[in-house]
Amino acid sequence: MSRLSPVLLLSCLLPAVALASFPIEIEINAEGLNISATSDDVSNVATVTVSNNGDTTAECEGTFVSGPERPFPRRTILEPGESTVLTQPFERAITLVRVTLNCKPK
């Protein structure tokens, strides 16, 4: 019986960890570019996949904000037809992440 209690405890905690998810809101300021973005989360890491669907090279900066933590800017240059993933890990428990994505022609 003593061997089962740690296993039972772990099995009770795993579903809570696996289901820990938070919403990610994305605001896109594309200055006439054809930019799209999707979001996802893995544990305490927010991810945003940015795609340049236009025919102009784009310089993009994504700023991740979550509560009292300082904003985290991530920068990338996207060629036409290219996609990339911007990520940000957080120290604290997350309830909501806001991402502002500013892109301009290069």
Which CATH number does the domain housing residue 33 bear? Answer: 2.60.40
Q: Is 32 among the domain residues?
A: yes
Q: Is 43 among the domain residues?
A: yes
Q: Is 77 among the domain residues?
A: yes
What's the pTM? 0.78
Q: Which residues of 9-34 are buried (b: 16+ CB within 10 A; e: fewer)?
A: eeeeeeeeeeeeeeebebebebeebe
Q: Is 72 among the domain residues?
A: yes
- How many domains is the chain built from? 1
Q: Is 8 among the domain residues?
A: no
Mean pLDDT of each 10-residue bin along the chain, 106 residues long: 45 47 93 95 92 97 89 94 95 89 96
- Residue 11, pLDDT score: 47
- Residue 15, pLDDT score: 44
What residue numbers bound the domain in which 92 lies?
Answer: 21-105
* Sequence-ordered list of residues with C-beta below 8 angstroms from that of 73, at least 6 positions apart, any chain: 61, 62, 63
Helix (H, G, I), strand (E, B) or coil at 19: helix
Q: Is 4 among the domain residues?
A: no
- Residue 72, pLDDT score: 84
Q: Is 69 among the domain residues?
A: yes
Q: Is 54 among the domain residues?
A: yes
